[in-house]
Structure 1
Amino acid sequence: MYARAVAAIVTALLGVAAFLLPGSDARAGDGQPPLVIAHRGASAYAPENTLAAIDKAARMGFSWVENDVQRTKDGELVVLHDDSLRRTTDVEEVFPNRAPWKVKDFTAAEIARLDAGSWFAPRYAGTRVPTLEQYMRRVERNHEKLLLEIKNPELYPGIERQILKLLGNDGWLDHRHLAGRLVVQSFSADSLKIVHDLKPAVRTAYLGAPTVAHLPEYAQFTDGINPSLGSVSTGYVSTVHAFTGPHGKTLSVFAWTVDDAGAARRAARYGVDGVITNKPDVVQAALQSP
């Protein structure tokens, strides 16, 4: 593995590495601004991780959206960030005696009863928590691309295989989707290893900032390193770019969560390839301004 890493470093130092985000648009390394990914959809403008949020991102002209996937008590995959339903639904009112309202303790039918929009704004009252199947079909309809996060995989044994099966059934594991429309990410390296072992063609990204000493190991099973903006620097980004991932391309770097002009410009100076943001319009404007 180290021979490949050394070869990648030499290539990077010579300045001829093909800085292309796996399966996506031109990257910052090509002199282009970072790619903008709508975090949980356009979540500053519509309730996060809902169909309304990805519809809003599409209307705003952003093709890449990010989401979070968890599993219900009866085995349905749903799109939610927290492991509790409390923050983004009215679960306390509907099921007052079910504290702490963990996703894994509710059936899909029970979650489908919840209002996932009123907390955000009155006009979103009645918005529902989407299943992953519903979500994928809306992403497809909107011609969007997806950065899919496997959330809390330690709570849901086998969720990786289940997600891949659903993606396959919905046509998302064909060459067209894998080449440019899907990346799977997680804070769990073990979860990404499972995805890579089960379906090596799927692009993956690790959420976090592994030490430089561990990057050769990560480059065996992931195509990108997605750290918080506060945990990276120009030097770290350059070091990540010196490694080649399992699909033969330079490891990419997506920084999160970048929500204002100053942070967007800082991310661009660091040389990141993408930014994950709740306010894609604000960030896009900052990145495109002189």
Structure 2
Amino acid sequence: MHARAVAVMTTALVGVALLAPASHARTDDSAEQPLVIAHRGASAYAPENTLAAVDKAAELGIRWVENDVQRTKDGELVVLHDDSLRRTTDVEEVYPDRAPWKVKDFTAAEIARLDAGSWFGSAYAGARVPTLEQYVRRVDHHHQKLLLEIKNPQLYPGIERETLKVLANEGWLDRRHVAGRLVVQSFSADSVRTVHELKPAVKTGFLGTPAVSDLPAYAEFTDQINPSYGTLSLGYVSSVHAFTGPHGRPLEVSTWTVNDADTARLVAGYGVDGIITNKPDVVRKALGEEEGPAGG
């Protein structure tokens, strides 16, 4: 069903969807099991959103990594989950008088001074907050694929265009990357819609669990509905799959953040397309997948 179909068809469609088989075609080389996506890199084993976490995911043979993008005071895009530097760097020690240590209040050069690894363990002392350019180059080096989250877009007007510009400059908007190696997602529907309008070829994802009645509107601009695993059911996943996204394929579901085998098997049984996890090796083993090279 195309998203522009009349709303009166929604109720009937959902009834059909609840009875539909969970399996459907995916735009990846694995059709049997959900994709395993390393959340902030392999963040159970290396400091999140660092190049070391990308390396660890590659070492584990994980093809997909997820990251978060924020913007500095001077307009540089950096990879960090929180809008504050406090939790994952030594910013309080380096800049003790600049609380609350928001990313947007620091220049890229100032952030480059920070240690983003010691909090996780001494083995990672000296790891840095990567720029988006550095991050995508490392992902490309490992022939991996990227689920990129635009974080807190309300704090950074225009970040969607800037993110796409970096991706373009780094070669990530060519046909090969766009066809199967890149998804841009956000908790903000407006941000996802903006990405779709700026670069319609780019695959997008909305983070959240919209009501089924709202899915026709989301299917106009997003290819994925990516909810927390605690909000999922077999019926909801089937209902999402019943709608066709902007690229003419069924909407997909990647769920987060699943770190144990039982939950991995549960959501796989719902028919999800991807599982976002801090422990990609645990999830992969639970799904019965064998370790392999990250490239593909």
TM-score band, normalised by shorter chain: over 0.9
SS in 2 for 1:183: strand
1:182 is matched with 182
- Give how far 1:269 is off: 1.5
| Separation in structure 2 between the aligned mates of residue 259 and residue 20 of structure 1, nearest angstrom | 25
2:72 is matched with 72
**1:12 and 1:239, CA in 2 relative to 1: closer, same or farther beyond 3 A?**
closer
TM-score (norm 2): 0.91
| Separation in structure 2 between the aligned mates of residue 210 and residue 138 of structure 1, nearest angstrom | 34
2:28 is matched with 24
- Give how far 1:9 is off: 4.6
| Separation in structure 1 between the aligned mates of residue 147 and residue 25 of structure 2, nearest angstrom | 16
SS in 1 for 2:5: helix
- Give how far 1:18 is off: 8.2
Percent same amino acid among aligned pairs?
73
- Give how far 1:197 is off: 0.5
SS in 2 for 1:119: coil
The C-alpha deviation readout for 1:239-271, integer Å capped at 9, x for no partner, is 000000000000000110000011101111111
1:226 is matched with 226
User: Residue type of the partner of 1:248?
Assistant: G
1:217 aligns to 2:217 (yes or no): yes
- Give how far 1:134 is off: 0.5
| Separation in structure 2 between the aligned mates of residue 13 and residue 71 of structure 1, nearest angstrom | 41
1:169 is matched with 169
Q: Structure 2: where are the runs of 5+ without partners?
A: 290-296
SS in 1 for 2:70: strand
- Give how far 1:17 is off: 9.7
1:246 is matched with 246
Q: Structure 1: where are the runs of 5+ without partners?
A: none
- Give how far 1:15 is off: 6.1
1:268 is matched with 268
2:87 is matched with 87
TM-score (norm 1): 0.93
Given that residues 264 and 286 in structure 1 are in contact (C-alpha distance below 8 angstroms), is that contact kept between their aligned partners in structure 2?
Answer: yes
SS in 1 for 2:101: coil
| Separation in structure 2 between the aligned mates of residue 288 and residue 208 of structure 1, nearest angstrom | 28
| Separation in structure 1 between the aligned mates of residue 166 and residue 22 of structure 2, nearest angstrom | 35
Once the two structures are superposed, the pairs formed by residues 101-116 of structure 1 within 5 Å of their partners are: 101-116=101-116
2:293 is matched with none
User: Residue type of the partner of 2:175?
Assistant: H
The C-alpha deviation readout for 1:124-181, integer Å capped at 9, x for no partner, is 0000000000011111111000000000000000000001011111111111000000
| Separation in structure 2 between the aligned mates of residue 120 and residue 72 of structure 1, nearest angstrom | 23
Given that residues 20 and 26 in structure 1 are in contact (C-alpha distance below 8 angstroms), is that contact kept between their aligned partners in structure 2?
Answer: no
| Separation in structure 1 between the aligned mates of residue 227 and residue 22 of structure 2, nearest angstrom | 22
- Give how far 1:96 is off: 0.4
More displaced 10-residue stretch of structure 1: 280-289 or 159-168: 280-289
Give the root-mean-square deviation of aligned CA atoms: 2.1
| Separation in structure 2 between the aligned mates of residue 156 and residue 18 of structure 1, nearest angstrom | 38
The C-alpha deviation readout for 1:94-121, integer Å capped at 9, x for no partner, is 0000000000000000000000000001
User: Residue type of the partner of 1:185?
Assistant: Q
Given that residues 18 and 239 in structure 2 are in contact (C-alpha distance below 8 angstroms), is that contact kept between their aligned partners in structure 1?
Answer: no
